[in-house]
Amino acid sequence: MITETDLAVNRRTAPDDGTAAVRVEQLSRIYAAGEQRVAALDNVDAAFARGTFTAVMGPSGSGKSTLLQTAAGLDRPTSGRVWVGDKELSRLSEAKLTRLRRSEIGFVFQNFNLVGALTVEENIMLPLRLSGVPVDRRWLDEVVERVGVRERLHHRPAELSGGQQQRVAIARALAMRPTVVFADEPTGALDSHTAADVLGLLRSIVDEQGQTIIMVTHDQTAASYADRVLVLADGRIMSDTGVRR
């Protein structure tokens, strides 16, 4: 059940007590198409504490994906600043930003973004290979088991259903045990049973490993796994609500 709590509604100032895994300040992203300007994000302030699970909701076009992309350093904001831990992204060179993204951030894309030429297993291992991190076989096994892709490890993404591809994308994002996982509708393509399993896995990495999750969803049931629900409308935070668990 979602209830109002003492979390500030329409928070204007992001708290800066050093505990945030991710913090955005006065974040704007303007898209220009000819004469038209669309403010996908309009001066958003928000902080995401370590070890918390936030659901980002709101109507289509309200800026949810843009918030995730800019906060994860995949897209540069038009103005405003983003911190991941104590690093302010605009101060990082492309090379440092890439390193930070590889080591600290996992991203589950709406359209999966799997590499077609690689097998499922190779896709899941890719972030580890790219950053030269040793493979933790036990963790990898657990992730593969929980997302239910063990039978498909030697297949290529094109041979999988949308739901299966989404599960591979989730496993890839978790393989590195990143500090922060951004997930853009991670359960959108899943049946309710698999969705519950994946959401349980996301919840457990927050509870057991202190990782931070920021997840876009349209689904109230998915949002009920979170600690907090941010609702966007027209590129602004309309409400910021705690979830009673």
Ligand X SMILES: Nc1ncnc2c1ncn2[C@@H]1O[C@H](COP(=O)(O)OP(=O)(O)OP(=O)(O)O)[C@@H](O)[C@H]1O
- C-alpha distances out from residue 220 to 12, 108, 115, 207, Å: 25, 19, 31, 20
Least distance in Å: CB of 56 to ligand X?
8
Interface residue with ligand X, options 7, 30, 38, 238 (CB under 6 A): 38
Rounded to the nearest 10 degrees, how much is the dihedral formed by the CA atoms of 172, 101, 233, 238?
110
Return the closest-CA partner of residue 176 out of 215, 132, 213: 132
Burial of 68 (0-12, 13-18, 19+ CB in 10 A): buried
Return the closest-CA partner of residue 169 out of 192, 193, 187: 187
Least distance in Å: CB of 43 to ligand X?
15
Least distance in Å: CB of 220 to ligand X?
15
CB atoms within 10 A of CB 137: 8
Taking the least distance from each CB to ligand X, the nearer of 63 and 73 is: 63
Span of 15-23, 59-67, 141-149, 236-244 interacting with ligand X by CB under 6 A: 59-67
- For residues 174 and 201, the answer to whether their CB atoms sit within 8 Å is yes
Least distance in Å: CB of 176 to ligand X?
24
40 Rama class: left (phi>0) / alpha (psi -120 to 50) / beta: alpha
Taking the least distance from each CB to ligand X, the nearer of 120 and 214 is: 214
Binding positions for ligand X, 225-244, rule CB under 6 A: none
Binding positions for ligand X, 13-32, rule CB under 6 A: 31
Q: Does the protein bind ligand X through residue 66 (CB under 6 A)?
A: yes
Q: Does the protein bind ligand X through residue 77 (CB under 6 A)?
A: no
Interface residue with ligand X, options 1, 33, 95, 158 (CB under 6 A): 33
Taking the least distance from each CB to ligand X, the nearer of 59 and 200 is: 59
* Strand ranges, E, within the chain: 20-33, 36-49, 53-57, 79-84, 87-88, 105-108, 180-184, 212-216, 228-233, 236-242
Distance CA 101, CA 76 (A): 13
Q: Does the protein bind ligand X through residue 61 (CB under 6 A)?
A: yes
Interface residue with ligand X, options 22, 40, 149, 175 (CB under 6 A): 40
| Number of residues this chain uses to bind ligand X (CB under 6 A) | 12
Per the structure block, which two tokens stand in for 154? 């030697």
Taking the least distance from each CB to ligand X, the nearer of 34 and 132 is: 34
Interface residue with ligand X, options 28, 52, 54, 65 (CB under 6 A): 65
Taking the least distance from each CB to ligand X, the nearer of 149 and 230 is: 230
Amino acid (one-letter) located at 125: M
Taking the least distance from each CB to ligand X, the nearer of 103 and 110 is: 110
Taking the least distance from each CB to ligand X, the nearer of 13 and 221 is: 221
Residue 152 CA to chain centroid, in angstroms? 24
Site residues, ligand X (CB under 6 A): 31, 33, 38, 40, 58, 60-66
